Amino acid sequence: MTTRDAFLAKIRAAQPAPRPRPEVPLFSVPEGERRARFTAALALMGGTCVEAQSIDDVRALIAARFGADAVVASAVDGIDGNRTLTPDTPPASLQDVDVGVVRGRFGVAETGSVWFSEAEYIVNSIGYLVQHLVVLLDPAQIVDGLQEVYRRADFQSARYAVLVTGPSATADIEGVLIRGAQGVRSLTVVWWG
C-alpha cells in the first residue's frame, strides 16, 4: 500500500456516520408573478432576459448579438455551434469560446438564478470559461425561492450542481464594478419552452 493509499484509508475510516439532512422550511412567497420577479432579480445582477418564439429566433439572436465569426459551443439540440461539445471535450479547450449556449433546468425567482448540473453543461467549464453565456429557460420552470431548490429530486441526484446569477463581477478594486472579471462577461436568459 502506498503512502497515499494509507492516508486516504485513514480518512475514510475516520468519517462520521451519515445523518439525515436538516428539514429546510418553506418561507412565505413575495407578491408578484415568478417570471417578473426572476427578470428583476437577474437585472439587478447584470443579466438580461429576452423572448424567443422558436429555435430560429435563438439562432438569430446569437448571430445578431455576437456576429458570424463568434466561436460558439452549444449544449442545446437544434443550435449548432462551431466548437464541438461532448462529454469527452477537454474542459480547458473552451478557453477561447465566445458564446456558450445551454439550457437551464430551472430558475429561481427570488435571486434570478439558473440551475445547472453536469447534464445541462455537458462540460462544466462552459459556464466559466466562455465570454458570453446564453441560457434557454422555460418560464414554467421557475421556482419561488432557494428553499425549494433543495427539495427537488434533480438537485438531490445531481453529481454536480451550480446556481448561476448574472455575469461574473467584482467591485473590490477601488470600488469599481467590473463584469467578466473571473468568468462570463454577459449572461442572457432566453425565455423559450
pLDDT of residue 28: 81
Give residue 45's pLDDT: 92
What mean pLDDT, rounded, does the chain reach? Answer: 92
Confidence of residue 127 (pLDDT cuts 50, 70, 90): very high
Structure confidence at residue 165 (pLDDT): 92
Tell me the average pLDDT across 154-163: 92
Report the topology of domain 33-191: Rossmann fold (3.40.50)
Phi and psi dihedrals of 59, rounded to 5? Answer: -60, -45
Q: How far apart are CA 173 and CA 192, in angstroms?
A: 37
> What does 43-111 look like in DSSP terms, one character per residue?
HHTT-EEEE-SSHHHHHHHHHHHH-TT--EEE-STT---SB---TTS-GGGGTT-SEEEEE-SEEETTT
> Which segment of 6-15, 28-37, 59-68, 101-110 scores lowest on mean pLDDT?
28-37
132 — pLDDT class (breaks 50, 70, 90): very high
Q: Which residues contact 73 (CB under 8 A, 6 or more apart)?
A: 81, 83, 84, 85, 94, 97, 99, 100, 101, 126, 130
> So what's the pLDDT on residue 13?
92
Who's near 109: CB < 8 A, 6+ residues apart? 34, 35, 37, 38, 41, 142, 143, 144, 145
Region 38-66: what's the mean pLDDT? Answer: 96
Arithmetic mean of pLDDT, 55-63: 96
**Would you state the pLDDT for residue 193?**
78
Q: pLDDT at residue 1 above 80?
A: no
pLDDT band at 150 (very low <50, low <70, confident <90, very high): confident
Q: What is the pLDDT of residues 69-114, one digit of tens each?
A: 999 999 999 999 999 999 999 999 999 999 999 999 999 999 999 9
Domains of the chain, by residue range, sit at 33-191
> At 169, is the pLDDT very low, low, confident or very high (cuts 50, 70, 90)?
confident
Stronger pLDDT, 164 or 181, i.e. the higher one? 164
